[in-house]
């Protein structure tokens, strides 16, 4: 996790605080302790700050709970969640890939705002149960209002906000087309983003400079996110109908099991642009050796170590079938953090497919506009 402080793991998900989060945490604490609480409650001066600090902490714990809501449902659908990061505009769960069905997208999207609404209810009940005008009542009331606001803001139908995802799920369910739904939702997302930017500029000009700047920045952030979704969908559309069989390289130089790493590097790696080699024995593919396995062995030992000793055994290799779609292949590569995958049918290695190969194809297609 870059530019962030790691907090630990919850349900196997890494939780982190982006450096930018500390700015917003200080700002929220200060706004509560120096403005909001003194304007509405009469307490000793130090109390404003203790309550402000505590309320701010619970506020960000609520944001984290919202993201955990999305994550738990994603995990239930078998979609891995890498991390949750709190940053200046709130929280972001890094869900490894988009859901495969409209229904899943709907439940994942709605889970976050549902958690926020539930928290708002709990804090409201809490605030009514404690002594009026006390610090606990102030804390509960503010957290109830803010959690309800989080839910309301996120339900605005501007993709990639939760409301935009719910909207996409609906269009997706109705049209049956993921790419079409994403285009429509991202388009609406851009309209909403420009709306935020316009509102921000208007507020800034009308005198509410900081609030205006803030809303403008949120708009700019949303605009970036929806534009990225547009591009991703274009790539997916270009890849549609293409399978691993069409892009794989079939003339893979195979190497025998007893070959030393020294010979492999000298005779194969340095002479070809290839980075991975199937290892064969008695006509069967036994495994694969890539630059990564070679680099793990110190150079001084390359003359003694054989390919068979370091290869990834065939059973353990992540493979794709010749019929796997290219979008899926790219996703597999991203998840496994590899640049190439073997294409296998039964126990037969048909060829290798590389990220570069797919990108080259995309570039060529974009150039010819086909
Ligand atoms: Zn959300």
**Residue pLDDT, tens place only, 269-298:** 888 877 788 898 887 888 889 888 899 999
For residues 147 and 46, membership in a common domain is answered with yes
Segment 134-171, tens digit of pLDDT: 999 999 999 999 999 999 999 999 888 899 999 999 99
Total count of domains within the chain: 2
d(CA 313, CA 315): 6
CB 50 within 8 A of CB 61: no
- How far away, in angstroms, is 111 Cα from ligand 1 center? 8
pLDDT value of residue 370: 58
In the numeric block, which tokens belong to residue 170? 């609906």
For residues 180 and 224, membership in a common domain is answered with yes
For residues 150 and 205, membership in a common domain is answered with yes
Give the rounded percent of residues in the chain with a pLDDT score beyond 90: 53
Give the full edge-to-edge strand order of the sheet including 255-256: 255-256, 276-281, 284-290, 312-313
Give the H or E element holding residue 277. Answer: strand 276-281
For residues 12 and 97, membership in a common domain is answered with yes
Out of 206, 224, 239, a domain closes at 239
pTM: 0.72
Name the catalytic one among 67, 104, 105, 293: 67
Out of 185, 217, 239, a domain closes at 239
Higher pLDDT: 327 or 195? It is: 195
In the numeric block, which tokens belong to residue 247? 């892009």
Beta strands (DSSP E) in 24-176 are 81-87, 90-95
For residues 211 and 272, membership in a common domain is answered with no
- How far away, in angstroms, is 319 Cα from ligand 1 center? 34
Print the domain residue range for 220. Answer: 4-239
CATH number, position 297: 3.10.580.10
Residue 68 has pLDDT above 90, yes or no: yes
For residues 252 and 218, membership in a common domain is answered with no
For residues 323 and 356, membership in a common domain is answered with yes
Q: CB under 8 Å to 142, separation ≥6 — which residues? A: 32, 36, 55
User: Helix, strand, coil proportions of the chain in percent (round to 5)?
Assistant: 60, 15, 20
For residues 77 and 148, membership in a common domain is answered with yes
Segment 165-189, tens digit of pLDDT: 999 999 999 999 888 898 899 999 9
In the numeric block, which tokens belong to residue 54? 């505590």
Tokens 């509102």 locate to 199
- How far away, in angstroms, is 234 Cα from ligand 1 center? 25
Segment 114-140, tens digit of pLDDT: 999 999 999 999 999 999 999 999 999
For residues 269 and 227, membership in a common domain is answered with no
Query: Is 67 assigned a catalytic role?
Result: yes
Residue 75 has pLDDT above 90, yes or no: yes
Out of 207, 239, 271, a domain closes at 239
For residues 260 and 223, membership in a common domain is answered with no
Residue 301 has pLDDT above 70, yes or no: yes
For residues 128 and 218, membership in a common domain is answered with yes
d(CA 325, CA 331): 10
For residues 166 and 288, membership in a common domain is answered with no
Higher pLDDT: 179 or 194? It is: 194
pLDDT value of residue 237: 76
Average confidence score pLDDT of the chain: 89
- How far away, in angstroms, is 200 Cα from ligand 1 center? 22
């Amino acid at each position: 996790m870059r530019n962030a402080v790691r907090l630990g793991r919850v349900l196997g998900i890494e939780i982190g605080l982006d450096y930018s989060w500390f700015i917003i945490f200080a700002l929220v604490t200060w706004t509560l302790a120096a403005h909001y609480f003194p304007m509405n409650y009469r307490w000793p001066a130090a109390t404003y700050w203790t309550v402000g600090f505590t309320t701010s902490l619970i506020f960000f714990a609520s944001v984290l709970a919202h993201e955990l809501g999305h994550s738990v449902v994603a995990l239930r659908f078998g979609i891995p969640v890498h991390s949750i990061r709190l940053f200046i505009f709130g929280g972001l769960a890094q869900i490894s890939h988009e859901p495969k069905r409209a229904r899943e997208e709907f439940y994942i999207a709605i889970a976050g705002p549902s958690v926020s609404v539930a928290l708002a209810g709990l804090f409201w009940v809490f605030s009514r149960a404690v002594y009026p005008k006390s610090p606990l009542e102030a804390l509960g009331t503010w957290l109830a209002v803010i959690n309800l606001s989080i839910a309301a803001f996120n339900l605005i139908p501007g993709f990639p906000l939760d409301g935009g995802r719910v909207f996409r799920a609906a269009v997706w369910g109705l049209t049956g087309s993921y790419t079409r739904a994403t285009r429509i939702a991202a388009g609406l997302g851009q309209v909403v983003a420009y709306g935020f930017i316009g509102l921000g500029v208007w507020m800034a000009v009308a005198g509410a400079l900081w609030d205006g700047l803030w809303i403008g920045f949120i708009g700019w952030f949303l605009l970036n996110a929806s534009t990225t979704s547009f591009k991703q969908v274009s790539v997916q559309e270009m890849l549609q109908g293409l399978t691993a069989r069409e892009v794989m390289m079939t003339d893979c130089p195979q190497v025998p099991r007893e070959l030393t790493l020294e010979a492999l590097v000298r005779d194969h790696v340095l002479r070809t642009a290839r980075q991975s080699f199937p290892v064969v024995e008695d006509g069967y593919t036994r495994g694969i050796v890539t630059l990564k396995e070679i680099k793990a062995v110190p150079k001084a030992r390359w003359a003694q170590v054989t390919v068979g000793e370091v290869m990834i055994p065939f059973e353990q290799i992540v493979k794709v079938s010749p019929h796997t779609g290219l979008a899926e292949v790219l996703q597999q590569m991203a998840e496994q953090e590899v640049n190439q995958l073997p294409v296998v049918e039964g126990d037969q290695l048909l060829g290798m497919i590389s990220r570069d190969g797919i990108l080259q194809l995309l570039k060529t297609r974009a150039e010819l506009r086909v």
